[in-house]
Amino acid sequence: MKSKKTVFRLYLTIERDEQFINEMAADGWKLTKITLGWWYKFEKCKPGEYICRAMYTNAKEREGICELLTENGAEIIKFEDPFFSGMYIFAVRKSDLGEFELLNTIDSRMAEYNTKIKTHFILGSIFVLLGVILTWLGVAMSISVTLICGIVELAVGALIMAPGIYYIVKYRKLKKEREIAE
């Protein structure tokens, strides 16, 4: 029986990440590390032995929150991602210590979505721009390989930008929630 495993998952919200990690914990797998935001590393544990909580935060608050969680028996999970590494906190704690919650305020979730919107649209725009240039060169010079590469770049750019639209919708809903709450 394997004592460690790596699982690939790509989720658009931190709530779905947390749900997946807790489902794995219920099946007897404790989260040990997250790489690139979609490679989850687990080690075998007793089913239901751990609970996970996740939140988005800024660099100023991160250290204090991590310290508080550690003092209350939680282990901070290493999250390696070149774009979002300093912004997420994933914490696991033994379930026999009782429930624990992280404060995911409307403002922190809005900040998370705003960052993701910018990231997806900036990266997507780079691919789209490169695709336009390659497509134009391919047509102008009658080079089919360049044309095909340009079309592929355009498609990749559109795929990268697509989640940004999802985040815009979520951001607007949260903005309305905040206005109603005030």
Which token pair is 152?
A: 């592929």
CA 25 to centroid of chain Cα atoms? 19
**Structure confidence at residue 62 (pLDDT):** 76
Neighbouring CB atoms inside 10 A of 32's CB total: 16
**Structure confidence at residue 41 (pLDDT):** 94
**Structure confidence at residue 115 (pLDDT):** 82
**Structure confidence at residue 103 (pLDDT):** 62
C-alpha span between 29 and 47 (Å, rounded):
7
User: Strands 39-44, 4-8: parallel, antiparallel or unpaired by DSSP?
Assistant: antiparallel
**Structure confidence at residue 168 (pLDDT):** 93
**Structure confidence at residue 78 (pLDDT):** 77
Q: Where are the domains of the chain?
A: 4-97, 106-181
pLDDT tens-digit readout, 105-139 = 777 778 878 888 888 899 899 999 999 999 998 88
**Structure confidence at residue 82 (pLDDT):** 64
**Structure confidence at residue 134 (pLDDT):** 92
C-alpha span between 142 and 120 (Å, rounded):
32
Record the pTM. Answer: 0.67
**Structure confidence at residue 86 (pLDDT):** 60
CB 76 within 8 A of CB 91: yes
Report the SS3 class of residue 25. helix
- Strands (DSSP E) found in the chain: 4-8, 29-35, 39-44, 50-56, 74-76, 78-80, 88-94
Sign of CA dihedral 8, 162, 160, 139: positive
Q: Which residues contact 181 (CB under 8 A, 6 or more apart)?
A: 106
**Structure confidence at residue 1 (pLDDT):** 62
User: Which of the residues in the chain have pLDDT under 70?
Assistant: 1, 80-86, 103-104
